[in-house]
Amino acid sequence: MSGQKNSKAKGLAIFFLILPLFLFLVSLSIGSYGISPHGLFKTVLSVVSPASYPDVPAAYRDILLRIRLPRVLLAMAVGAALSVSGASLQALFKNPLVNEYILGISSGAAFGAALSLVFLGRAFPPQVGGFVFAVVAVGAVLLISGKAESHFISLLLTGIIVTAFFSALLSLVEFFASPYVLQALFFWLMGSLSLASWKDLYISLPLIAVGLAMLYFLRWRLNVLSMSDEEARSLGVNVRREKMLVIAATTLITAAATAIVGIIGWLGFIVPHLVRMMFGADNRRVVPLSAAMGASIMMIADDIIRGLSSFEIPIGIFTSLVGIPIFLVLLKKTRKVWL
């Protein structure tokens, strides 16, 4: 037992697990409005007892509680959700090239949101349609690929096909709908936290929490499920049932996250790799650390976006631009064997 290496890794792990909390506080102080840390502190206190701090402007409170707080929480939740989802599906599909949208969630959600905007108008939040069709897409994949215990390759291929199918359907909707009606879809397809409000969080946060909890408890099981189906079966695992469990949990959190913020690429793909590179492949560590790292990365990315300018660069673009070089560097480093 190389004790020194072990304790170093442990220290690093604890650092990454605590990092989101620290970033949470930092993120609350970043924004175009420009509130000093002192002002922020007073604002927090004024929430608790408004009477003692009458000079805190209403704008400060509105910004902190209604704009920054939900947004940072959403960043944490989505970052964790997509990363854990990606990690779990990579284990399930025994393929590190998999990402959390592999089962058709992204295109299903986009189609659902578009459909809702066109037929239900503004009366209905498009997020619901997005969520519903994200789940429908995964359901279609499971149905089409037959028994879930069949080769994981066919699940993958079916996922690709269903994704393409819903993309085509989306094009069809865009084709017939007035482009102005679909303007609202604009942000969403690029991936953006700008729409974050408490209304969105009330439903999506619990869903994400439930799914994350499931995957957290299943984390050791993921090791076993990452074995070939034959091996898993001989190890005594009801492969079919447990695969469905993992897929259900990942679908829940990915669909919930995607319905609110749109498509944010590369996070669920990169983060698990980073974690495995640093801490090994054991999912008992990969799952919680992916959640923490994903949350941190999202918060940092969003902080940069919000802090740099008054413009709203969609975060989905950002994660792709940042994710691709990281991926290439990782690819170079781990040429030999996939972690």
Partner 1 sequence: MSIRVTHLAFAFPKFSLRVDELAFESAKVTAIVGPNGAGKTTFLKCVGAVLPTAKGSLFIDGRDIALLKSRERARLVCYVPQEHDTTFNYSVSDFVLMGRAAYISPFALPSREDTRAAAEALDFVGLTGYADRAISEISSGERRLVLIARALAQQSDILLMDEPTTFLDPKHETEVFELVRKLAVEKMKTILVTLHSLEMAVQHSDQMVFMKRGEVVAHGKSADVFQESLLESVYDMKMKIIDWEGRKLVLR
Partner 2 sequence: MSDLGMDKRFGNGVKNLSGSVDIPKSLIMISTVFAFILSSGALFPSQSQTIKDSLRRTVAVPLRVERILSLQPEITRILVALGAADRLVGLDYFIGRDDHLFKILFPGGTRLPVVSMPDESVNKELIVRLDPDIIFTSPTELQVSESIQRSLGIPVAALASMGSFDGLLKEIELVGALTGLGERAGELGRYFREKIRFITESIGPLDPEDRPKTYLAFWSSLVRTPVFYEPVQAAGGRNVADNLLPSHLGTIGTIITLEQVIKWDPDVILIQGSFLPRERQVTVEGVLADKRLGSVKAIKQRRVHYTLGFWYWWDPAGVLVESLYLAKLFHPEKFGRLDLEQEGNAIYKMFYKKPEVFTKLMRFLDFHEWTEK
Residues that bind partner 1 (CB under 8 A): 1-2, 91, 94-96, 214, 217-221, 223-224, 226-228, 230-239, 242, 245, 276, 280-282, 284, 336-339
Q: Which does 311 bind (CB under 5 to 8 A by kind): partner 1, partner 2, none?
A: partner 2
DSSP code of 51?
G
- Residue 183: name its binding partner from partner 1, partner 2, none (Cβ under 5 to 8 Å by kind): partner 2
Q: Compare residues 225 and 298 and give the one whose CB is closer to partner 1.
A: 225
Among partner 1, partner 2, none, what binds residue 36 when CB lies within 5 to 8 Å by partner kind?
none
Which of positions 173-192 make contact with partner 2 (CB under 8 A)? 174-181, 183-184, 186-187
Contact in structure between 76 and 299 (CB atoms under 8 Å): yes
Nearer to partner 1, 61 or 94 (CB): 94
CA separation for the pair 94, 82 (Å, rounded): 18
Between residues 27 and 85, which has the closer beta carbon with respect to partner 2?
Answer: 27
DSSP 16-48: HHHHHHHHHHHHHT-STT---HHHHHHHHHHHH
Of 92-131, binders to partner 2 (CB under 8 A) are: 121-122
The residues, ordered by sequence, that sit 6+ positions from 59 with a Cβ below 8 Å of its Cβ are 33
Would you say 218 or 260 has its CB closer to partner 1? 218
Q: In terms of CB distance, is 193 or 339 closer to partner 2?
A: 193
The option from partner 2, partner 1, none interacting with 236 (CB < 5 to 8 A, set by class) reads partner 1
Owner of token pair 């319905």: 259
Q: Kind and range of the H or E element at 332?
A: helix 315-333
Task: Output the smallest distance, CB 303 to partner 2, in A.
Answer: 12
Among 263, 289, 297, smallest CA distance to 192 is for: 263
Least CB distance from residue 110 to partner 2, whole Å? Answer: 15
Contact partner, 21, from partner 2, partner 1, none, Cβ < 5-8 Å per class: none
Cβ-contact 103, 140 below 8 angstroms: no
Residues 142-171 that bind partner 2 (CB under 8 A): 171
| C-alpha to C-alpha distance for 112 and 122, rounded to whole angstroms | 14
> What φ, ψ does residue 103 adopt, rounded to 5°?
-95, 15
Q: Please list every residue from 44 through 73 that binds partner 2, using CB under 8 A.
A: 57-59, 62-63, 66-68
Q: Which does 178 bind (CB under 5 to 8 A by kind): partner 1, partner 2, none?
A: partner 2
Look-up of token digits 């482009």 = 179
Distance of CA 223 to the CA centre of its chain: 21
75 closest CA partner among 270, 291, 284: 291
Rounded distance between C-alpha atoms, residue 216 and residue 56, angstroms: 41
CA dihedral 109, 306, 79, 20 (to 10 degrees): -160
The entry of partner 2, partner 1, none near residue 31 (CB within 5 to 8 angstroms by kind) is: partner 2
Which of residues 119 and 217 has its CB atom nearest to partner 2 in the complex? 119
Which residues bind to partner 2, rule: CB under 8 A?
Answer: 31-34, 57-59, 62-63, 66-68, 121-122, 171, 174-181, 183-184, 186-187, 194, 197, 306, 310-312, 314
